[in-house]
Amino acid sequence: MSDFSRPPQEELAANLRQGYVGMYFEQGVPILDRDLNLLQDLIATAVRSIVTRYIGDGVPAGRQGFKIQAIPADNDFRVLAGDQPPGTCLVGGIEVFIGADVRYGAQPGVPPLTTPTTAQGNPRVDTVYLDVFLACVDGATDDRLLNAGDVGVQTSVRLQPSWTVRVAENATEPPAPPQGHAHYALAQLRRGTNVAQIRADMITDLRQTRLNLDHAERRISMIESLVVMPRLRPSPNQFNPSNIGPGGEVTIFGRNLDLEPVTVHFGAFAATPEDVAPNQIKVRAPADASGRVPVTVTTAGGTVTSEDQLTIREGGPAPQFADPPNEFTPKVGGAGAAVTLFGSNFNLAPVSVEFGTVPATDVHPSPNQIAVSVPPGVTQAVNITVTTRTGSVTSHDTFRGGAPPAFAATEPIKPTRGGIGAKVTLSGTNFDIEPIAVMFGTVPAREVVSFTATTIETKVPVGAPSRCKITVSTGVGAVVSTQDFNVVGGG
C-alpha cells in the first residue's frame, strides 16, 4: 500500500467537518502530499455531493444493470450486467460499472447467505444493496504505476470506482455506510422460513430508474407544450366566424391562451384582445386589415399560428341591431310570417339573415331595417343573425318560431256544454305561443285560466251564443273547432 503523510480519507473528513471546500498554496513553503491530495478530494467531494442532491442515485432509464435475478441454487443470486453491458449505476455521485453477470457468492470477501429460521419471522426480509467506494490502486496491482521506463519508483496511486453487492439479512434497509463508502438498495428478498433457494417471486426490485438529461429535456418540452405553450383547435375549427369585415369580432379557440401578456395578429396587423380565457380569445379585426390572413396568438408561453385563413372583407361599418328589446318585431311567428329587423348598416351587400342556423330566403334590406319572412324549420326560440360584407351581428332578443295551433282529434272540448262562467278545457297542440286568445263564436273569452302546449283552460263568457264553435288564436295562427259547444242558458 502507498505511503501517505496522513491517510487521505481521514484528512478529507477532518477538513469537511471544518466546512472547507477548497484550498490555496502559499509561496516559498514545502508542498505536502496531503495538501495535493486534499485539493483533489475537496473538489471531487463537492461534485459528488451536487450530483447526489440534484440528480440522485439510480440506473439509466430502460437499463437493467445491477438487477437481482434468481438462480437455481441455495442462498445465492445473480447480479445482471443488463442487455447492453456494461451496466451502470450512480451511487453517492460515483458511477460504477458491471461488465458481466456476477453471482453473489462468487464475490471475494462477502459472507455466505443464511437460510431463514423461525426466530427471524416468516417471511424474513433481507435487503440487497450496492456498496460503492473509491479504491486505491498502486504498483502492486498495476505495474505501470512503478514507472519502470523512467524514474523507476512509484510516484502516485490511482483512485478507481469499485463496488460490492452485499446483503443485510433481516433488515429493511442498508446499514449506515462507513467513511468513504455509499450504499444503494438494489432489491428486497422476502424469504420463507427454512427455504434456502431464492425464487423470482421473492425478489422486489428497488432500483430507481433515472432519466438522463436528454430524456429530461424532451419530457420538459412535452410538459411545456401541454401546460404552457398556446395551442389552437384542429382545423377547420380554430376560430369563428371565418369571414368578417374590418372591426368584426372573432373568437379564437384553443388552450393555454391566457398566459399574459397576450397579443393577436391578423396577418401582419396587430389587434388588441378584448376577452381572454384559457380556451378562447375574443378580438376584433383591425380596421386596416383585409384579404385572407392567418391568425397568430402570442403568450408568455410561446407563439402559435393558425392553419385556417380568415377572410377580412372590404371596408365599411359593421351591422348593428337596435337596443334590446327593440331589435325586431314581432317576437313570434310561424313559417312565412313577416318580421322586421331594426338597426343600422343593414344594407352593405351581400346581406343574409339566419334564424338560429336556418337561413331566410326572403330578405329585403335597407340601411336601418330588414324585412324578412320566417323560413320553414324554425320551431323553437332562436337568435337572429344578420351578415353583411363587413361582418355579422347576432340579436340578444330571441324569436319564437312554431306551427299554428290545432285541436285534438278526440275530446278537443271538455265538457261540450256548460253555463256562463263554467270552466272549459281545450286539448290540442301548439297552444302555448303567445299571445293566446279564445272566442266562443264571435264572443271573446274574457278569462284564459291557464295554458300549455297541449291544453287551454278558459271560462264561458257572458253573451256566448247557445250553440257555437270555439276559436283558439296564438302568435302563429288560429284554429276553429269542428265540434260545437252548447251554452246552457245562453242567447
Please say if the pLDDT value at position 491 is more than 50: no
Considering the domain architecture, whether residues 302 and 425 belong to the same structural domain is answered as no
Q: Which of 73-87, 142-156, 202-216 bottoms out in mean pLDDT, i.e. has the lowest?
A: 202-216
**Within this chain, do residues 98 and 176 fall inside the same structural domain, yes or no?**
yes
Share of the chain above pLDDT 90, in %: 56
Q: Work out whether the CA dihedral 301, 307, 313, 317 comes out positive or negative.
A: negative
- Sort residue 111 into left (φ over 0), alpha (ψ -120 to 50) or beta: beta
Residues 277-323 have pLDDT tens digits of: 999 999 998 877 778 899 999 998 889 999 999 988 766 678 999 99
164 and 80 inside one domain: yes
Average pLDDT over residues 265-280: 91
Mean pLDDT, to the nearest integer, of 189-198? 95
Distances (CA, A) of 45 to 12, 14, 21, 36, 182: 9, 13, 9, 14, 12
How many domains, in total, are found in the chain?
Answer: 5
162, β-bridge pairs: 133
* Angstrom distance (rounded) from CA 437 to CA 432: 11
Residues 63 and 197 in one domain: yes
pLDDT band at 403 (very low <50, low <70, confident <90, very high): confident
Q: What is the mean pLDDT of residues 47-54?
A: 72
3-class DSSP state of 85? coil
Residues 169 and 284 occupy one common structural domain: no
For position 42, what pLDDT does the model report?
77
SS3 106: helix
- pLDDT for 217: 65
pLDDT at 52 over 80: no
Buried b (16+ CB within 10 A) or exposed e, 95-127: ebebeebbebeeeeeeeebeebeeebeeebbbb
Domain annotation covers residue 134: yes
Shared domain check, 63 and 32: no
- Written as nine digits, the cell of 448 is 284564459
Give residue 363's pLDDT.
Answer: 96
Over the stretch 104-143, which tens digit does the pLDDT of each residue have?
999 999 999 999 999 998 999 999 999 999 998 888 888 9
Count CA atoms closer than 13 A to 94's CA, side-chain side: 21
Which pLDDT score is estimated for 47?
A: 78
| 223 part of a folded domain | no
289 part of a folded domain:
yes
Inside any domain, residue 22: yes
Q: Given 372, 401, 430, which residue is the final one in a domain? A: 401
CATH number for the domain that contains residue 293: 2.60.40.10
Which residues have a Cβ under 8 Å from the Cβ of 293 and sit 6 or more positions away?
Answer: 266, 267, 268, 269, 309, 310, 312
Pairing of strands 310-312, 243-244: parallel
Q: Which among 298, 299, 273 has a CA at the least distance from the CA of 286?
A: 273
Residue with cell 437499463: 63
Determine the pLDDT at residue 32. Answer: 81
What percent of the chain is predicted at pLDDT more than 70?
94
366 shares a domain with 480: no
Same domain, 298 and 382: no
Specify the pLDDT at position 11: 84
Residue identified by cell 263564436 is 441
pLDDT confidence tier of residue 380, bands split at 50, 70 and 90: confident
Q: Is 2 part of any domain?
A: no
For 212-222, what is the mean pLDDT?
Answer: 63
Same domain? 417 vs 396: no
> Rounded to whole angstroms, how far apart are CA atoms 285 and 294?
12
Quote the pTM value: 0.46
pLDDT of residue 81: 94
Instruction: With beta carbons less than 8 A apart as the criterion, state whether 218 and 245 touch.
Output: no
Tell whether the model's pLDDT for residue 211 goes beyond 60: no
Q: What is the rounded distance in angstroms from the CA atom of residue 306 to the CA atom of residue 281?
A: 13
In a domain, 422, yes or no: yes
Q: For residue 42, is it within any domain? A: yes
Contact 229, 256 (CB under 8 A): yes
Do 170 and 121 belong to one domain? yes
Is residue 97's pLDDT more than 80?
yes
Collapsing DSSP to helix, strand or coil, 146 comes out as helix
Higher pLDDT, 232 or 433: 232
Give yes or no: residues 151 and 195 share one domain: yes
DSSP reduced 3-state for 76: coil
Kindly tell me if the per-residue pLDDT of 265 is higher than 90. Answer: yes
**pLDDT of 6:** 79
Q: How far is CA 55 from CA 44, 399, 482, in A?
A: 16, 65, 90
Give the mean pLDDT of 250-277: 91
Which amino acid does the sequence have at 42? Answer: L
3-state SS class at 440: strand
What Rg do the C-alpha atoms of the chain give, in angstroms? 45
DSSP, res 113? P
* Span between the terminal Cα atoms of the chain, in Å: 135
Report d(CA 175, CA 80) in Å as an integer: 23
pLDDT, averaged across the chain:
89
Give the residue-averaged pLDDT of 13-31: 82
Parent domain of 42:
8-54
Listing DSSP states for 2-26 in one string gives: ---SS-HHHHHHHHHHTT-----PP
Q: Please tell me the distance from the alpha carbon of residue 474 to that of residue 13, in angstroms, as a whole number.
A: 98
Quickly state the pLDDT bin for 347 (edges 50, 70, 90).
confident
